[in-house]
Chains A and B, each alone.
Chain A
């Protein structure tokens, strides 16, 4: 496992994932974290961006903390061709030997990062909820793991680069600063690139919901404790009175009580509302990892020892359906026009 051990290089790279920019700001969030971590290992913060006509992203990444931007800009890179992107990244990593490579856990990132790690024969942790540097200068990656009720701290001690994907919304971006300067290193498209074996027949922006649950100020989440699909529907009434959105746990989504879209969890949406109402949710880490940015949590559960009750600011020990109904009634009474 030592063919890639290069301890001298000290750069933190952030992969520039701009496909769903502006909605998806994970690249900027990762740059912010890289700026925090870099002094601890005496590293520079670099962004890498591939695509067609990417000048605006180069400027954006510099304004958000990148000291260096590696760029491959070519018309053939228009449609996020994954095999080409993996190859280009492999070439650049081999050439410049970064210490750390961070990639946003978008759908693309979650496909791209493992393939790259495989080529580089290095370690990769998935969907991290924290990154730190330890006393040995290793990046400690905190990832939800093991049956979903535990967190694991993971390191890649030998091989380089150390790689992690990070869930969007985990870190706060640094405000845009146009006065920041950065070096831009452009690389030509290499002669020998793989022929893309997956053809993109079409790629169209899918319909977005009017308010996204990620941005909602109030989120009403329900779990299996709601009892049935029919009873679960009551949460939509509550959410609509609160001008909020409905989220659900994995068992609820798997039981088809709601669309997969509503999944709040590790494999779904990450929410950060001012107020989160949680009904009948026990609180597996896949779920709790995705709600821990909520400012104020009201949890309703018959079981006072449920994880979700311990995380709550207000834990209501009662039947979820009955409290939901009582809340609807009380809110209707209190909300005057």
Chain B
């Protein structure tokens, strides 16, 4: 029986967000939350392991109360229980503080884990730093950006493509991997499964006292990086706007920029009579 942990994160559904063109900022308050796509791949990989070897999956996340939604979703997909870390002291954590906090939870609630599975990055901050730092915190072998893996006994054999190399790696469990989005396309949670997961499911909500983290090392206090400024990179160019029928705009484009495009492709695009 495998003891599996998946770390998941709720991220804003940015692609659906409109810009506030007057202020040049994102209308963040309109953000719906969703499970980070790469985390879904990690969960899918855990579910396949569970089906093959029988196992128990704990989905954990850290975030505001609303982040509980992704735990319900994870349970609807097949995870056995969910834990939300939610505490004002944890707010503003950078990756160092986040990995510290997640590690303490895993040690407390899943001390005899076999494998921790993380997504390879998130769509909001995209640092991809939590998984490698969690490996350090848990002091287990870890491999990032795993495309595919196979388990036999307690030995995990993994494949990944990194920096132009195709690597085959092996480690003994317990360990940690971050799963790339190349394989393990996530299953859909069925509607009835979702309903059930939202009605009654094994979800716990913990604060820092419950897992015994040092308040100095979590949240903003425990984060060595400080954000000075956040801004929209609105680079309004002095550009040419063309509109009309496709044929006309293309003609117009070549009339003005045939040399520019021509020189990039090394061909003469001038129209001769």
Contact = CB atoms under 8 A, between A and B. Distances in A.
A110 B242 contact: no
Given A146-B125, A204-B165, A199 B171 contact: yes
Nearest to B120: A267
A203 B250 contact: no
A313 B240 contact: yes
Interface in A261-289: 266-267, 273-275, 282, 284-286, 288-289
Given A115-B132, A317-B242, A334-B254, A123 B224 contact: yes
A315 interface: yes
B129 A124 contact: yes
A155 B152 CA distance: 45
Interface string B217-237: 000011111111111111111
B209 interface: no
B170 A199 contact: yes
Interface string B235-267: 111011111111101110110111011011111
Nearest to B155: A199
Given A124-B95, A260-B182, A152 B227 contact: yes
B237 A152 contact: no
Given A305-B21, A312-B239, A155 B228 contact: yes
B66 interface: no
A310 B126 contact: no
Interface string B65-99: 00000000000000000000000000000111001
A127 B127 contact: yes
A273 B264 contact: yes
A253 to B, nearest CB: 8
A284 B95 contact: no
A178 interface: no
Interface string A84-120: 0000000000000000000000111011111101110
Contacts of A257: none
A140 interface: yes
Interface string A149-169: 111111111110000000000
Interface stretch (A36-44, A58-66, A227-235, A318-326): A318-326
A316 interface: yes
B76 to A, nearest CB: 20
Given A217-B265, A330-B250, A330-B254, A198 B143 contact: yes
Interface stretch (A7-15, A19-27, A46-54, A68-76): A19-27
B157 interface: yes
A77 interface: no
Contact of A266 (B126, B129, B222, B232): B126
A185 interface: no
Contact of B269 (A202, A284, A335): A335
Contacts of A315: 239-242
Chain B interface size, as a band, is 35 or more
B182 to A, nearest CB: 6
A83 B140 CA distance: 11
12 contacts: A114-B128, A123-B225, A145-B124, A145-B125, A146-B26, A146-B230, A147-B124, A152-B227, A155-B225, A218-B265, A311-B235, A317-B242
Given A124-B129, A147-B12, A316-B253, 20 more contacts: A1-B222, A23-B164, A111-B132, A114-B129, A146-B230, A147-B11, A153-B231, A197-B140, A197-B175, A205-B166, A274-B263, A275-B261, A282-B15, A307-B19, A313-B239, A313-B240, A316-B243, A317-B241, A327-B250, A334-B271
**Ordered nearest first, which 8 A-B pairs have the shortest CB separation?**
A123-B224, A197-B141, A107-B162, A123-B225, A126-B127, A274-B264, A114-B129, A322-B246
Interface of B: 11-12, 14-15, 17, 19, 21, 25-26, 28, 31, 37, 94-96, 99, 121, 123-130, 132-133, 135-137, 140-145, 157, 161-172, 175, 181-182, 216, 221-237, 239-247, 249-251, 253-254, 256-258, 260-261, 263-271
Interface of A: 1, 19-20, 23-24, 83, 106-108, 110-115, 117-119, 121-127, 140, 143-159, 197-206, 208, 217-218, 224, 242-244, 250-251, 254, 260, 266-267, 273-275, 282, 284-286, 288-289, 292, 296, 298, 304-305, 307, 309-319, 322-323, 325-327, 329-331, 334-336
